[in-house]
Each structure stands twice: as structure tokens, then as C-alpha cells.
Copies of this chain bind each other. A is one copy, B any other.
Amino acid sequence: MTVWDRPEPPTRPVPLDRERIVAAAVALADEGGLESVSLRKVAARLNAGPMRLYGFIATKEELFDLMVDEVQAEILPEEQPGDWREALSVLAHRTRQTALRHEWLADLLGGRPTLGPNGLAVTEATLAALDGLADIDTVMRAVETVSAYFTGAIRREVANLRAERATGLSERDWQRAHGPHVTRMLATGRFPSLSKAVHDGTDTDPETSFATGLDWILDAVATRLNRPPA
């Protein structure tokens, strides 16, 4: 019985690990959004049956948690910059960029506490930026305020982006884009300030808008630091 007679041993299935699973899930989400991530499709990408995944995750939500943690690795900058303000600003902007690269992240951002290694690292980096510049409680308030801001801002930005994509491609022209409905509503005269804003407002690009709001908030933070611990 030579080698040639013996059949190859039945190919043991490619071993799986969380890394590969999460990578597949992220790829799917990048291509078709969160809702096109199904355990079946993820498994299929790895030539496995759906049930195989349950050795590594207990629930679909857990997979989402892993996905979030995975892309949070992209948030941390290579090197921490010098002053607290730049550090926070960089973290915020990198979070935004990550969310624009993985739009589904916007759906998950802030939805659950991020306790994974990368999530903790991001939190650590944020806290570290302000470490020693004020009492702990002030620091925490600052961190929470800043991150609440960019969570919300990113979410809205992505939401608007999708809405624009859905109605056609007009970036300008709220009115014509969002269909006659808004136009009609504004015409009722019940929303004078809104009408004025829509009519006269300059169309600021999202990035500057994001940066401006962030700057305001960092200003506010600045005034609470440095102030001696009373």
C-alpha cells in the first residue's frame, strides 16, 4: 500500500478562531451594513456551518461586541501627542474616521459598554490625556462629555449620509432631496426658525462642523482644568 493508493486523510476543517470569525463579520458589514451580517453568512465565508460559531461566541450580540472592539484598534494613534487638547482631538477625529470607514460602527457606537481590550485601551488613552490636570471627577466629566459629543455627532453624520444616499445624491437641497414633505411642512409657516435656517444657512461640510463643535467643547473643558483644586 503505497502513498498513491492511500486516500488523503479526510480534510479536517480549517481551524477557526475568533479573529477569523470577526474579520469575516467585519468584512460583511463593511460591504452591506450591519443587517447583512448573519451568522449563516459569516460561517459560510469560513466554509463552516452556522453552529460552528457557537464554540466561539454565545450570541450574535457578542459577535457585534467583538466587531466593535476589533475596529476600535484603528482609533488609537501610533503615538500619543503632547498636549491634552490635541490628544482628545485626535482621538475624536480618529473615531470619526473609523466610523466613516465602517459605517455600521455608527449603529453600535454607544449602544453597549465597550469592555474589550481595545475599547479599554481607548478609554485609557482618553483618561490618560487628562491625567493629573484636574481632580478625577472633573476628568471623568470631561471625558464623558467629549465622548458623548462625538458619539452623537458621528451618529448623526452617518445618518444624514445614508439619508442623502437614499434620496439621490444631492448634498445641497435639503428640500428637493428629502422630497416634497419637508418643503410642504416648512410652507405651513409653523416652523419659522427652521425655515430660515434651511433657507439662509450655509452648507457646512461635516468635517468642519464636527471639528467646530469639538473645539467648543474642548474650550469648555479647558476652563475647568488648570483651575486649582479649590
Contact = CB atoms under 8 A, between A and B. Distances in A.
A185 B141 contact: no
A221 to B, nearest CB: 7
B193 A131 contact: yes
Interface string A184-210: 010000111110110011101000010
Interface in A157-172: 159-160, 162-163
A141 B217 contact: no
Contacts of A109: 155
Contact of A197 (B112, B139, B216): B139
Given A127-B194, A136-B196, A140-B197, A111 B155 contact: yes
Contact of A220 (B152, B190, B193, B219): B219
A113 B160 contact: yes
Interface of A: 107, 109-113, 115, 117, 120-121, 123-124, 127-128, 131, 136-137, 139-141, 144-145, 147-153, 155-156, 159-160, 162-163, 178, 181-182, 185, 190-194, 196-197, 200-202, 204, 209, 212-213, 216-217, 219-221, 223-224
What are the 6 closest A-B residue pairs judged by CB atoms, nearest first? Answer: A151-B152, A152-B152, A148-B152, A145-B213, A127-B193, A148-B153
24 contacts: A107-B111, A110-B156, A110-B159, A112-B159, A115-B178, A115-B181, A120-B185, A124-B190, A124-B193, A127-B194, A127-B196, A137-B202, A137-B204, A140-B204, A141-B204, A144-B209, A147-B152, A148-B150, A148-B152, A152-B152, A152-B153, A155-B155, A216-B221, A219-B223
